[in-house]
Amino acid sequence: MNTNTLLEKLQDDIVICAEGYVFELERRGYVKSGPYVPEVVLDYPDAVKELHREFVRAGSDVVLALTYYAHRDKMKVVGRELDAERLNRQAVRLAGEVARESGKLVAANICNTWVYDPGNPEETGKEVRAMYEEQLSWAVDEGVDYVVAETFDWFAEADIALDVIKGFNLPAVITFTAVTSTTADGYAFDDACRILSDKGADVVGLNCGRGPSTLLPVLAKVVESVQCPVAALPVAYRTDADHLSFIDLKQEGREAGFPAELDPFVLTRSEMAEFALAARDLGVRYIGVCCGGAPHHVRAMAEALGKEVPASRYSPDIAKHAVLGAEDVVKDYRTRFLKEHHETLFWIIGVRAIALTPIIKQGTSLVRSLP
């Protein structure tokens, strides 16, 4: 393993990193929403490997071992604490296999623990440190290029993570989750990132929590504050000024939103591609997706950044679409059908709208908006 590979790549180019594994595998039926513990690594390893491959084909330069929420305390929540070592080792092995077959980097993964308690920082800090140390000792044993430590809301926890990673002499990518305006212990995110960068973090930044539009303003401050490369991996959900993070999203009239009812807010691939360009223009060097992100987002982002990736072979070509395509592709009878279909639709809606106009104003605007 070459420990400088990530840093060399960052000097030459933007590095793309796909995350969001637990959300995507939850959608596919392999991870339980709620605990979000990646039991899938042991129970359905092929599903994990498949997603690794899909993300690589879509343009990820990194295969991130699926050990998010695989620390001892979370494993306890699903009654599988005794499987912690087996799961962590297997996750790194699966990522390593895909990384080797595709020539990509393999990254170990540690994250926020929910164990750190500011009321008892000494004791709980030790517990957190012990969990990171055991996870990383297994990962290093299996072979990794660097470590992603992510989704931190406590600065104190991120600080412990950096210290443990540096103890293993590996490059560290440390990212905070900006669900609120500061870390849980009151640091502005740009300050938190600057301090960790000064302490030797190789890449700092933000992941998860916010979608592109609410992440970018915080990101701009981080880029201004630090010397090292900056990472940005938003969720692929439509957050806005009134809903800063995906935790705040809920469809009108529905009981639930986050985490399992977020489908109406998923961003399109071109919206994520626009984010990739905006982040690049800010000077961000490590760009990716977190929860909600899927391979089609990653491919669109990679292509927007000027990269051709294996899955580009099947990127959209609307010119070859049977109805919307170029003149030489669209058959006459299809166009005729479409025209007749539109005219029929116009007639039906038109008649109904006229009948309802006194009652429903929106009906008339619908008729006017028809081609």
d(CA 6, CA 327): 47
Cis peptide, bond prior to residue 35, ω within 30 of zero = no
d(CA 306, CA 59): 11
**What length does the chain have?**
371
- The reply on whether position 291 binds Zn ion by CB under 5 A is yes
- The reply on whether position 22 binds Zn ion by CB under 5 A is no
- The reply on whether position 66 binds Zn ion by CB under 5 A is no
Q: Which is nearer to Zn ion, 173 or 291 (CB)?
A: 291
C-beta of 290: minimal distance to Zn ion in Å? 3
What CA–CA distances, in Å, run from 19 to 34, 62, 226, 236, 304? 18, 9, 23, 11, 18
d(CA 152, CA 204): 11
C-beta of 316: minimal distance to Zn ion in Å? 26
DSSP state of 248: G
Q: Which is nearer to Zn ion, 148 or 290 (CB)?
A: 290
List the structure tokens of 236: 């692929």
Backbone angles phi, psi at 141, to 5 degrees: -60, -40
d(CA 77, CA 79): 6
- The reply on whether position 208 binds Zn ion by CB under 5 A is yes
Candidate segments 89-97, 207-215, 328-336, 349-357, binder of Zn ion by CB under 5 A: 207-215
Q: Which is nearer to Zn ion, 96 or 292 (CB)?
A: 292
Q: Which is nearer to Zn ion, 58 or 233 (CB)?
A: 233
d(CA 353, CA 270): 34
CB 301 within 8 A of CB 14: no
C-beta of 56: minimal distance to Zn ion in Å? 19
- The reply on whether position 290 binds Zn ion by CB under 5 A is yes
Distance of CA 200 to the CA centre of its chain: 25
Candidate segments 50-58, 162-170, 202-210, 361-369, binder of Zn ion by CB under 5 A: 202-210
Ranges of beta strands (E only) in 177-251 are 203-207, 230-233
- The reply on whether position 232 binds Zn ion by CB under 5 A is no
Q: Which is nearer to Zn ion, 162 or 208 (CB)?
A: 208
The H-assigned helical ranges of 309-331 are: none
C-beta of 253: minimal distance to Zn ion in Å? 26
Q: Which is nearer to Zn ion, 207 or 225 (CB)?
A: 207
C-beta of 333: minimal distance to Zn ion in Å? 48
Q: Which is nearer to Zn ion, 210 or 269 (CB)?
A: 210
Query: Binding residues for Zn ion, how many (CB under 5 A)?
Result: 3
C-beta of 17: minimal distance to Zn ion in Å? 12
C-beta of 208: minimal distance to Zn ion in Å? 3
d(CA 295, CA 24): 10
C-beta of 39: minimal distance to Zn ion in Å? 18
Q: Which is nearer to Zn ion, 63 or 290 (CB)?
A: 290
In the complex, the residues that contact Zn ion under the rule CB under 5 A are 208, 290-291
